[in-house]
């Protein structure tokens, strides 16, 4: 006798019984106390329990049909995967060639003080990413690499992965770190590089590491197509992005370099990483 299957059935039966009893108790208390919301809640629990109990055998039946080749479920899933890969390839082709840094808008913000610990940037970076998406729309949906070089969206359905990115942000300097180098770095980017690309880099020094330059430097690069359709729209959006960067990270100095202009101005070369 297979005890594992027996125990599984026992657990499922116990769960169904508990949910049914909970719904019946709620329904009874609602009728006894004339509480409409409690009656509705108890009835909803009962109906949901029956729906789940009926759905589980159906799912098992579908997978059995697919296993014996009577239902082409795997073939359909492979077809859907192929459609996604083809759409990705078309999007990468439409994105075109990556523009040079000098051909993009560059917003740079510098803070003199160091970061006490990386988790102190959790709320500021979350706010920054949220505001960037609000100002730029879908073109500013940012992604990042994790420790194993897999791409993940920074914010999805209102929940962010900034905490995980911060936990993996420490830079491993193979030949030693100079006091002017950052100890941590965050790099976010849009899904496809090319003519409509956004790039965000936040480098900072955390803890009591020696430092001779700035404590935090944030750089946002935006291609003209991602910034807007007309020059007026682009300029207005870039200035708003600059303000978002300054407000979120509480920086001391900031500047905007327009396409064709040199990158470092206002003496910021001395404090840049």
Whole-number Å distance between alpha carbons of 161 and 27: 41
Residue 27 clears pLDDT 80, i.e. is over it: no
CA distance 196 to 103: 12
* Residue 102 phi, psi (nearest 5): -65, -20
Tokens of 89: 């390839």
Q: What is the pLDDT of residue 182?
A: 92
**DSSP of 94-162, one letter per residue?**
HH-SPPPGGGSEEEEEEESSPBS-GGGGHHHHHHHHHHHHHHHGGGG--EEE-TTS-EEESEETTEE-H
Q: What are phi and psi of 13, to 5 degrees?
A: -60, -40
pLDDT of residue 266: 38
9 or 119, greater pLDDT: 119
pLDDT digits (tens, 9 = 90+) for 146-191: 888 888 889 876 667 899 999 999 998 888 888 888 999 999 998 7
Beta carbons within 10 angstroms of residue 232's beta carbon: 9
* Lowest pLDDT segment from 52-61, 64-73, 97-106, 185-194: 64-73
And the tokens for 171?
């830079």
Decide if pLDDT at 109 tops 80.
Answer: yes
pLDDT-derived band at 273 (thresholds 50, 70, 90) equals: very low
- Backbone phi, then psi, for 139, in 5-degree steps? -65, -15
Top mean pLDDT of 6-10, 97-101, 105-109 is at: 105-109
What phi, psi does 219 have (nearest 5°)? -130, 125
pLDDT band at 269 (very low <50, low <70, confident <90, very high): very low
Which pLDDT does position 5 carry in this prediction? Answer: 47
Residue with tokens 């505001």: 131
- Where residue 220 falls among pLDDT bands split at 50, 70, 90? very high
Query: Beta strand pairing status for 216-222 and 198-204?
Result: antiparallel
- Give me the residue label for tokens 């944030």: 218
CA-based nearest residue to 268, from 60, 27, 31, 106: 106
Residue 66, pLDDT > 80, answer no
Residue 109's φ and ψ, nearest 5 degrees, are -135, 135
Is the per-residue pLDDT at 200 higher than 80?
Answer: yes
Q: What is the pLDDT of residues 177-186, one digit of tens each?
A: 888 889 999 9
Question: 263 falls in which pLDDT band (50, 70, 90)?
Answer: low
Residues 127-145: tens digit of each pLDDT: 999 999 888 888 888 999 9
């Amino acid at each position: 006798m297979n005890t594992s299957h027996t125990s599984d059935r026992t657990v499922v039966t116990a769960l169904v019984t508990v949910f049914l009893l909970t719904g019946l108790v709620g329904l009874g208390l609602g009728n006894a106390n004339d509480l409409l919301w409690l009656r509705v809640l108890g009835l909803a629990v009962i109906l949901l329990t029956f729906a789940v109990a009926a759905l589980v055998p159906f799912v098992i039946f579908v997978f059995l049909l697919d296993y014996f080749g009577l239902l082409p479920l795997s073939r359909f899933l492979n077809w859907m995967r192929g459609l996604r890969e083809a759409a990705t390839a078309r999007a990468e082709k439409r994105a075109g060639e990556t523009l040079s840094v000098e051909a993009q808008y560059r917003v740079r913000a510098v803070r003199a003080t160091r970061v006490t610990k990386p988790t102190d940037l959790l709320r500021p970076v979350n706010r920054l990413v949220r505001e960037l998406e609000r100002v730029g729309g879908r073109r500013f949906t940012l992604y990042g690499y994790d420790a194993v070089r897999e791409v993940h969206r920074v914010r999805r359905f209102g929940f962010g992965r900034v905490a995980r990115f911060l936990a993996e942000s420490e830079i491993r300097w193979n030949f030693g770190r100079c006091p002017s180098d950052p100890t941590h770095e965050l790099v976010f980017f849009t899904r496809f590089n090319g003519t409509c690309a956004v790039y965000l880099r936040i480098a900072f020094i955390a803890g009591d590491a020696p430092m001779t330059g700035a404590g935090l430097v944030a750089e946002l690069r935006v291609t003209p197509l991602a910034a807007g359709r007309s020059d007026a729209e682009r300029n207005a959006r870039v200035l708003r992005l600059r303000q978002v960067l300054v407000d979120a990270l509480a920086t001391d100095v900031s500047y905007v370099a327009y396409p064709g202009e040199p990158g470092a101005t206002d003496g910021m070369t001395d404090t840049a990483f």
